[in-house]
A and B are shown apart, each in its own frame.
Chain A
Amino acid sequence: MRAWIYVARKVLHAVLTLAFVLVFNFFLFRVMPSDPVKLLTRTSSAELSEAQQRELLHDYGLDEPIFPGQFLDYVGDVLRGDLGISFLFPGESVMEIFLRNLWPTVLLVGLSTLFSTLIGIGTGIWSGWRRQSAFDLASTGVSLFLYAMPEFWLGMMLLIVFATTLGWFPTGGRISTVTGLSGVEHLVDVVNHLFLPCLTLTLAYVGEYHLIMRSSLLDVLGEDYVTTARAKGLREKVVLRRHAVRNALLPTITLIALNFGFVLGGAITVELVFSYQGLGLLTYEALTAKDYPLLQGLFLFFSAGVIVANLIADLLYGYLDPRVREA
């Protein structure tokens, strides 16, 4: 029963945060200086009369007062899934463009997060347990190095070595041809293009997770109850498994979830470097084109992503730490 209360509390907290993001998102974009009507006017034709300009303003809902008119419209629209019409892809709704580019990014970020957390946590535990061993020194050194690297720089170097020079992988894009690839071939094509970006994102964060996990484990190993357990004569491995790791995982999970915002940022630059068509590259295009509706929708989505990641981490935390559940 208490578990459900915990879950409910966390979910409610996530929803509230999302609501704040919505409000923040709305007001943030009202500060924009560039007038979308002029942008549209110039590109479509230089012949819009005052009346036509007013009509355009009305179509985009820009002629109402900001509060409450535009704000309530905005909230209503978002709840209905209408995130506006893009400037960059005229006539297309933000939601459409969004959904088109969603799965490649989910695939990229999902897989790389999976790999980097599993590997990082694994090596971090090993490193912390065998402190000052050769493995520890090597892996921590490598982790520091990877942590210090801009992920897009890593991506570009990998691209030069493995794609441009060796030719093992395509030098960019999400898929090769637009027509004519069936089932298995299509899968292989996707994997071919996904490999380097995924490797880049994995390497970019695995170092950090290693360091976090290692540090967390070391903190725990220095705690009183661990000394107690050792004094009780429990075997090292049992000590590690039963107490240390579980407790060390808790703050690690929290920190990894908090880092998710950076992972999404990394996705933006890595997708750019590899011309991998997903939400990240879309964000860059929206930025250069100053497509505010699209930027607004993407911002909302990325924030929601981090909130969900934190929610998952909170729930995982609750599952792993009985103290929390019974609190």
Chain B
Amino acid sequence: MGGTMAMRILRRGAAAVLGGLLAVGLVGTAAAQTPSPTSARKVTFVVGLTNDVRTFNPLKAIETPEYETLAVTYDTLLRWAPDDMSPMPGLATDWTRSSDGLTWTFTIRDDATWSDGEPLTAHDIAFTYRFIVDKGFSSLSNYLPFTDSFEAPDDTTLIWRTTKPTTAPLAPPWIYILPEHIWGGMTKKEAKQFENFPNTVGSGPFRLVEWKKGDFWRLEARDDYWGGAPHIDELIFRVFANDEAMVNALKAGEIDFAEAIPTDLFAALQGEPNIATHVGGAASFTQMSFNMCGDQAYCQKNPPNRHPAVTDRAVRLAIAHAIDKQALVDRVLRGFGTPGTTVIPPVYPWHYDPAPDELIDFDLDEANRILDEAGYRDTDGDGVREMPGGGRPLEFRFFVRTEDANSVSAGKLIAGWLEQIGIEVRPEAITDGKLIDQWYANDYDLYIWGWGVEPDPDFQLSTYTSDQCGVWSDTCYNNPEYDRLYLEQKTAPTREERMAIVHEMQRIIYRDIPEIVLYYDNDLQAYRKDRWTGFVEQPSDQGYLLFQFGNWSYLNVRPVSEAAGAARPRGIPPSVWGAIVVGIVIVIGAVALARRRVSEEERA
């Protein structure tokens, strides 16, 4: 009885399943034939990324998607020009500086409005800056040094007084202006916990309307934006689980722009019809850091666990000579990058190019010579040098990041080269979280990480000061001369004088080698050129199309033609569905025939 039952269940189940497939197949074939109606002439631009946004609160923004959203929903005092990122009018149309250099007077435009209809005035700007300084949002108040006061005597005038002369107001400060009528009166805790969604009020060209966590967030254009109405109606940022999914979506036409495409996928995209690939700006660098903990307070509290040889500049110099940066660019980045030198990338005017006699080139012989001279010899013939006097072998712990496939590849190559100068490193791939633990505990010798550098070099340079140990300093580098220069550049009266100091600071780091800048990696971007045009590259040479400092492209991008509308998903061609249906029919037929044969057998 049970067996019959089982067979009956099996047969009924199979029939139901096949029937279902058939139904879906027929419907699918029908659906694939009928074109989908274009939704009401709305022009939608979809940007794909693999990094999800965590918050829409400008005071808590850390990651790229957050900054990019802020760039289109809020404004800054000044903007970064698209050709060379120099300061240009934003909310402020004009400015003057007092003769003593301590007072800046900005004229604020009168046609800026908030997305809830309220006008934006100088009061909002003064409020925002004051709020940040008074409540102590340290990561942002860095842009407002030596503050004396912020005043708005009327709606269109902002007076910024400092205690020391500084060119910080022209950096410009990367602070998005908040509406006083929303944020005024909040405590610091309230401001930090404020969701700012829904009902986000900003002054930018787009307004946030929808957010599905882990999936997408959607913005609508504001026709009354002071900088001009965008040519698109809707902007969607769509999050993907990984880069492959994002690139596939671009190829399928499900998204219009893909950001931060990994090297191999990007290389394969080149030459795809309808897709324009863009080797974007290299305003970021990847570095290999040494454990430089000195006598700072943080290092006393968290004594470093490191190999003593790392503190010897000779060793670091030898290692620097043993790394073939061009090979890294060729093999790891497939050519999409430039060999690294100093910590401000060449895409910025502040970059310092080492002089030919300062340049540390790839020279294994020189590396070996330096180590020999410094007394690190291989006394026991095992291929690894020891400390002078034949002590501890030069074996370093070397961390690379699992989140960054390039760092893993780079690690393999670097280990190979260091082996040839008698230093053994065993690269260990760990997650960012674990690396942060090791870093906090000062428990490492070498590791690879990277930075995205802002247009104004102040923040990046600050990370090498000794008081940033345990905060933002990658290496706990400790150089009083460097610290002194940092303060000097903050108060440099003219840009030229500041430039000289900034150059000197980069030279110091390049010479002292607390870290080795491996390469400046390009941001690889791609978009559907069959649908879109009007991207504004910033800076104009080897710049970024999106994820810039500003919202130039979003204001300018437009469809190539009227017909280019919303994306349509690809479907199974009717031929395939037909084949499936035929296959199912054959299977059913076979089963039926087999059963007939069996029952004949039975009767026999």
Contacts and interface: CB of A to CB of B under 8 A. Distances in A.
Q: Do A and B come from one complex?
A: yes
A122 interface: yes
A118 interface: yes
Q: Which of A35, A188, A238, A240 has the most CB of B within 10 A?
A: A188
Contacts of A39: 433, 436-437
A176 B254 contact: yes
A228 to B, nearest CB: 16
Given A173-B249, A321-B2, A275 B214 contact: no
Nearest to B242: A275
A290 B569 contact: no
Interface in A83-139: 89-92, 97, 100, 114-115, 118, 121-122
Nearest to B402: A288
Interface stretch (B9-17, B74-82, B94-102): B9-17
Contacts of B402: 288
Given A89-B52, A89-B213, A187 B572 contact: no
B62 A44 contact: yes
Contacts of B586: none
A80 interface: no
A288 B403 contact: yes
A191 interface: yes
A169 interface: yes
A240 B602 CA distance: 11
A242 interface: yes
Interface string A31-69: 000110011001111110000000000000000000000
Interface string B588-604: 00000000001101100
B565 to A, nearest CB: 11
A185 interface: yes
A241 interface: yes
A78 B395 CA distance: 47
B355 interface: no
Contacts of B32: 188
Q: Which of B215, B216, B470, B570 has the most CB of A within 10 A?
A: B570
Contacts of A92: 213
B6 A320 contact: yes
B3 A241 contact: yes
Contacts of A184: 27, 31
Q: Which of A44, A172, A244 has the most CB of B within 10 A?
A: A172
Interface stretch (B145-153, B233-241, B507-515): B233-241
A92 B249 CA distance: 27
A180 B567 CA distance: 10
Contacts of A100: 214
Interface in B31-71: 31-32, 36, 39, 46, 52, 54-55, 60, 62
Nearest to B470: A46
A238 B1 CA distance: 10
Contacts of A242: 1, 3-4
Contact of A192 (B236, B244, B470, B569): B569
Interface string B554-582: 00000000000011011111001000000
Contact of B4 (A173, A188, A235, A241): A241
Interface in B220-256: 236, 238, 240-242, 244-245, 248-249, 251-252, 254
A275 B243 CA distance: 9
Contact of B248 (A168, A171, A195): A171
Contact of B17 (A114, A238, A289): A114
Contacts of A179: 218, 236
Given A118-B17, A275-B241, A169 B572 contact: yes
Contacts of A236: 601-602
B138 A178 contact: no
A247 B244 CA distance: 47
Contacts of B472: 46
A234 B96 CA distance: 107
A267 to B, nearest CB: 14
B214 A176 contact: no
A170 B570 contact: yes
Contacts, number: 165
B62 A43 contact: yes
Given A121-B10, A191-B24, A277-B241, A168 B572 contact: yes
Contact of A178 (B215, B244, B433, B573): B215
Q: Is the interface of A mostly helix, strand, loop or mixed?
A: helix
Contacts of A35: 437
A13 interface: no
Contacts of A38: 436-437, 440
A213 B244 CA distance: 38
Contacts of B431: 288-290
A10 interface: no
Q: Which of A173, A240, A249 has the most CB of B within 10 A?
A: A173
B39 A180 contact: yes
Contact of B601 (A167, A170, A237): A237
Contacts of B540: none
Q: Which of A89, A114, A176, A289 has the most CB of B within 10 A?
A: A176
Interface in A198-240: 235-238, 240
B297 interface: no
B139 interface: yes
Contacts of B434: 34, 290
A320 B5 contact: yes
Q: Which of B27, B62, B248, B402 has the most CB of A within 10 A?
A: B248
B3 A178 contact: no
A191 B436 CA distance: 42
A9 interface: no
B3 A176 contact: no
A244 B3 contact: yes
Contacts of A172: 244-245, 248-249
Interface string A274-298: 0101000100010011100000000
B2 A168 contact: no
Contact of A115 (B17, B139, B576): B17
A62 to B, nearest CB: 16
Interface in A227-276: 235-238, 240-247, 249, 275
Contacts of A90: 54-55
B87 interface: no
Contacts of A115: 17
Nearest to A126: B594
Contacts of B46: 177
A288 B405 CA distance: 13
A245 B6 contact: yes
Given A188-B28, A246-B6, A275 B244 contact: yes
Contacts of B598: 237
A97 B601 CA distance: 57
B437 A34 contact: yes
Q: Which of A115, A178, A244 has the most CB of B within 10 A?
A: A178
Interface in B389-410: 402-403
A72 interface: no
Contact of A167 (B14, B236, B570): B570
B254 A177 contact: yes
B204 to A, nearest CB: 22
27 contacts: A38-B436, A39-B437, A45-B60, A45-B138, A46-B470, A47-B139, A90-B55, A92-B213, A114-B13, A114-B17, A118-B10, A118-B13, A118-B17, A171-B244, A176-B252, A176-B567, A180-B566, A181-B36, A185-B569, A188-B27, A242-B3, A246-B1, A275-B242, A277-B241, A289-B433, A290-B434, A320-B6
Q: Considering the complex of A and B, which 6 residue pairs feature the smallest CB-CB distances, nearest first?
A: A176-B569, A275-B245, A246-B2, A246-B3, A171-B248, A245-B3
Given A46-B471, A171-B244, A290-B433, 15 more contacts: A39-B437, A47-B138, A97-B214, A100-B214, A118-B10, A118-B14, A172-B245, A172-B248, A172-B249, A175-B569, A180-B566, A188-B31, A240-B3, A275-B245, A277-B241
